[in-house]
Amino acid sequence: MSRIFYSKPSYSPVSPQPHSRHHLIIADASGAARAAKLQAACAGPNTVLLIAPADARLPEAELREPRELADRLSALIAQLPAGTSCYLFGRESFIWPAAIRLQDLGTARSQIHVERCGPMVRDVLCIHCKTRMHDVTDTLVCCDGCDLLLWNYDHFSRRHGAYMGFQVNAEQADDTPVAEALSS
């Protein structure tokens, strides 16, 4: 299949931003290690939000359930100073929707730094029946909702934190490529 459209994010390691008056660090379980490292490197005041069970590397983190994140962010935005830098660590399905939420609340894109952590997995959204598959590891996936074989396409929706999955053998049912492990 030829690739006609890429919207796959690329990443480089984030570091503490100078001049920041506060550092807001947000991580899921796979981002906890990086979050702890960044916190250690931050000079000024900081807040750590961990959307995961307690982690010994982040003893002062505030623990939250995933469903609480959006509300917690709006409350935080109203308290933190304007010169805050935000850092997001974790799976793509976690960091991007959180980044979009921060932007919806008025945080500038340049204040938000994301870094993908954890295993090479993707959430895939079936464009045919809208079912979401979590932690997909291969270039092909069978849709849990409509049973179609989906191509795990490099088209990423930041708002959904998921890649789009298209039926792979729509024209010819016997023409099916071999599934490969995701490499990036």
Partner 1 sequence: MTQTRHRVRVSAVARLGPSIREIHLEPLEGDHLPAFSPGSHVVMELPLGEHVLRNAYSLTSSPFERSRYAIAVRRQPDSRGGSRWIHDELVPGRQLRIEAPNNYFPIRAPADGAPLLLIAGGIGITPFMSLLRARRPDSGPMSLHYAFRDRVDTAYLAELKRLLGSDLHTYESTAGERLDPASLLAAQHLGTQVAVCGPAAMIEAVRAKAAALGWPEQRVLYERFSAPAGGTPFRVRLQRSGRSIAVSSEETLLEALERAQVPVRSLCRAGVCGECRTDLLGGEAEHQDLFLSDQEKTAQCAVMPCVSRACAGGELLLDL
Residues that bind partner 1 (CB under 8 A): 17, 19-21, 76-85, 103-108, 110-111
Rounded distance between C-alpha atoms, residue 84 and residue 66, angstroms: 22
Q: How far is the CB of 19 from partner 1 (least distance, A)?
A: 4
Dihedral of the CA atoms 55, 43, 18, 81 (nearest 10)?
A: 80
Q: How far is the CB of 113 from partner 1 (least distance, A)?
A: 12
Structure tokens at 148: 């179609």
Query: How many C-beta atoms lie closer than 10 Å to residue 120's C-beta?
Result: 10
Name the residue nearer to partner 1 (CB basis): 23 or 155: 23
In the DSSP assignment, the letter for residue 102 is H
Q: How far is the CB of 81 from partner 1 (least distance, A)?
A: 7
Name the residue nearer to partner 1 (CB basis): 82 or 120: 82
Query: How many C-beta atoms lie closer than 10 Å to residue 138's C-beta?
Result: 14
Q: How far is the CB of 74 from partner 1 (least distance, A)?
A: 8
Name the residue nearer to partner 1 (CB basis): 82 or 146: 82
